[in-house]
Amino acid sequence: MTQRDLMERLRASVRLQAERLPAVSAARPIVNRRTFLFGATASGLPFTRSVSARSSQTPGASPVADPTLREQLFSLGIASGDPWPDSVVLWTRLAPMPFEDDGGMGNAPVEVAWEMATDESMTTTVAHGTTTATAEWAHSVHVEVTGLQPATWYWYQFRVGDVESPIGRTRTAPAAGTDVDRFRFAFASCQRWDVGLYTAYRDMASHDVDLVVHLGDYIYESQHSGRDLLRAGDFPISAMLETRTIESYRSRYALYKLDPDLQEMHRLAPWVVTWDDHEVNNNVFGILNREEPAAQMLLERRTAAYQAYYEHQPLRSSARPVGPDLQLYRRLSFGNLLALNVLDTRQYRSPQGIACDDETRAANDGFCPDSLDPDRTLLGADQKRWLTGELDRTTERWNVLAQQIPFARVDNDARPDVASFGGKEMDKWDGYAVEREDVARAMSGAAAERGFNPVVITGDVHANYVWDLKTDWDAAGPESVFGSEFVGTSISSNGDEPLEEDGAFTTYCGNHNGNAHNHLFDNHRGYVLCEVTPESWRADFRVMDNVTDQDAAATTLASFVVNDGRPGVELDSGC
């Protein structure tokens, strides 16, 4: 049975249960079919027997023994991630009733068997074992399989009793220092559930990538619209409300992870993930006066958000949160070809600062005073020290900052006599200009000394951009160019957002708003497909016609190339 078949049977089962409900009295709010799924109503009351009631009726009872729940045990799918040459993480979460506070699992620990093989039929087993899924971590499973061969495709599966998960596929990284002829990966971000479908992942699945890099905003914490939903099915209003507690964050991840296109892309390839702000709260920052009541409230919310993030992502045990703290920055290497320096620009940052007017910007070279404060940080001292150390000793040909927010300096004002770096908000690297220049000098200096090519990949802004990176942003010639930045649009956030009067999407190729180092602006939805070889880096901007039609197709809007040893971006096709 495919995951899509399972989802349809699951929805049909829920509809049948809803039809058996007694009529709602006139004295109570009317609740329609769209408010129901997995035992939740608009009032939060269950319409099926509760998990606690089930457990109390039969001592030792388990969801695995309940025929109505068995097929839904792996309802949130499976995933793998953080590939090393000899190891990879396997993930799942047992949740037969995903929108119940406990996922329908009760409080008892559950033994989960796992198996890894070199073939899709799972006949040639190379590793197997068992682990325990506990209620404390929402019955999530994180298995770190070791002793594997580098640069090798594997298949894996979970089992609880005789209930089996779908079979997933994953790949280990090439061994350190080995030659790699080609590495293909995709990066994506920003997938707000209620404004667009995840059809971009279906297109991504057709390109046989070695890796997916997700740059944040995997979920959105804000209240979702419960009307005119784009996906078939009945979903609880409780899953649409703003997330603040561990239960509500878990429910939000369940809402997203039930999507079959997202599940399939997780099943087909390993992922490397980092967060942005909406995994906790919009424009969240990390440096707090922890004695203040408001800070304590944010720390409690962050504790819930961080735990739910770990519970739903293929992360290693080293990333398991301790209260409101979780170290997510890390480095992954792929032979002598590619290194990913995965950053966290949220947890350790100073508050965003105050935007200013044109007159104040003019007196500060286009910046607001807070942007030029040398004490402000995005990375925090420890992460910044770690990053510069990694750049100083790298041996890979392509060195990547995989991070959340636009790095290049960007003038947001189209008027030629007005400079506005940072725009109306101070959330991007332009709002932390001093530290941005520190990092740029570290990258350009290390690249010159060690002979690698710096590339930054970015999400956050729901638009496609391509920029050259410069040691002197005002220099006209290529001499100051030291690297490249590719900004990928959102998977679905902002939905279908035509900006032109005729309803068309907006695409600029080349200089935009007077930014001479800009090569592309576009506001389609989609993702970026990258193919990296020792000679070049190619970035294909795959865009969707729309994200409201399940049958919408993707096309390549434009392709850009960076050649080894020649900093800067060149248009290859499109535009």
Q: Which tokens belong to 174?
A: 């090439």
pLDDT, mean of residues 155-182: 97
d(CA 185, CA 192): 22
* Cβ pair 532, 564 in contact under 8 A: no
Are residues 395 and 472 located together in one domain of the fold?
Answer: yes
Are residues 313 and 410 located together in one domain of the fold?
Answer: no
* Cβ pair 97, 51 in contact under 8 A: yes
Digit-coded pLDDT (tens) for 294-309: 899 999 999 999 999 9
Closest CA to 562 of 463, 456, 460, 461: 456
C-alpha torsion sign, points 173, 177, 179, 183: positive
The domain boundary, picked from 319, 351, 378, lies at: 319
The domain boundary, picked from 319, 347, 381, lies at: 319
Are residues 269 and 393 located together in one domain of the fold?
Answer: no
Pick from 132-141, 147-156, 235-244, 331-340: least confident? 235-244
Does residue 465 fall inside a structural domain?
Answer: yes
Does residue 546 fall inside a structural domain?
Answer: yes
* Cβ pair 168, 157 in contact under 8 A: yes
Pick from 67-76, 428-437, 502-511: least confident? 502-511
The domain boundary, picked from 287, 319, 351, lies at: 319
Does residue 183 fall inside a structural domain?
Answer: no
**pLDDT of 373 higher than 90:** yes
Per-residue pLDDT at 289: 79
Does residue 380 fall inside a structural domain?
Answer: yes
**pLDDT of 15 higher than 50:** no
d(CA 231, CA 242): 20
Per-residue pLDDT at 502: 67
pLDDT, mean of residues 495-515: 80
pLDDT, mean of residues 453-461: 98
Digit-coded pLDDT (tens) for 173-229: 999 999 999 999 999 999 999 999 999 999 999 999 999 999 999 999 999 977 778
Which residue, chain included where needed, has tokens 């970026």?
Answer: 528
Q: Which tokens belong to 369?
A: 């005073």
* Cβ pair 550, 233 in contact under 8 A: no
What DSSP assignment string belongs to 530-562?
EEE-SSEEEEEEEEES-SS-TT--EEEEEEEEE
Digit-coded pLDDT (tens) for 521-540: 999 999 999 999 999 999 99
Per-residue pLDDT at 501: 63
Are residues 314 and 334 located together in one domain of the fold?
Answer: no
**pLDDT of 423 higher than 50:** yes
Does residue 560 fall inside a structural domain?
Answer: yes
What string of H, E and C letters represents the secondary structure of 224-291? CCCCCCCCCCCCCHHHCCCCCCHHHHHHHHHHHHCCHHHHHHHHHCCEEECCCCCCCCCCCCCCCCCC
Q: Which tokens belong to 505?
A: 């999407």
Are residues 8 and 86 located together in one domain of the fold?
Answer: yes
Q: Which domain holds residue 30?
A: 3-172+217-273+276-319
Digit-coded pLDDT (tens) for 398-408: 999 999 999 99
**pLDDT of 436 higher than 60:** yes
Pick from 45-54, 127-136, 547-556: least confident? 45-54
Digit-coded pLDDT (tens) for 232-265: 888 898 899 999 999 999 999 999 999 999 999 9
Helix (H) or strand (E) holding 183: strand 183-188
Q: Residue length, the chain?
A: 575
Are residues 8 and 64 located together in one domain of the fold?
Answer: yes
Helix (H) or strand (E) holding 390: helix 381-393
Percent of the chain with pLDDT over 90: 79
**CATH code of 407's domain:** 3.60.21.70
Pick from 14-28, 127-141, 491-505: least confident? 14-28
Are residues 443 and 295 located together in one domain of the fold?
Answer: no
Residue type, 29: P
Q: How confident is the model at residue 570 (pLDDT cuts 50, 70, 90)?
A: very high
Are residues 308 and 349 located together in one domain of the fold?
Answer: no
Are residues 376 and 263 located together in one domain of the fold?
Answer: no
Per-residue pLDDT at 229: 87
Which residues touch 209 (CB under 8 Å, ≥6 apart)?
184, 185, 186, 269, 529
Residue type, 351: P
Are residues 51 and 99 located together in one domain of the fold?
Answer: yes
For residue 44, how far is the Cα from the chain centroid? 29
Average pLDDT, the chain: 89
Phi, psi torsion values for 529, nearest 5 degrees: -105, 125
**CATH code of 103's domain:** 2.60.40.380
Closest CA to 215 of 424, 15, 451, 406: 406
**pLDDT of 498 higher than 90:** no
**pLDDT of 57 higher than 80:** no
Does residue 349 fall inside a structural domain?
Answer: yes
Digit-coded pLDDT (tens) for 65-120: 787 788 899 999 999 999 999 999 999 999 999 999 999 999 999 999 999 999 99
Are residues 352 and 315 located together in one domain of the fold?
Answer: no
Does residue 518 fall inside a structural domain?
Answer: yes
Does residue 49 fall inside a structural domain?
Answer: yes
What DSSP assignment string belongs to 320-350?
--BTTB----EEEEETTTEEEEE--SSTTPP
| Domain count of the fold of the chain | 2
Are residues 257 and 146 located together in one domain of the fold?
Answer: yes
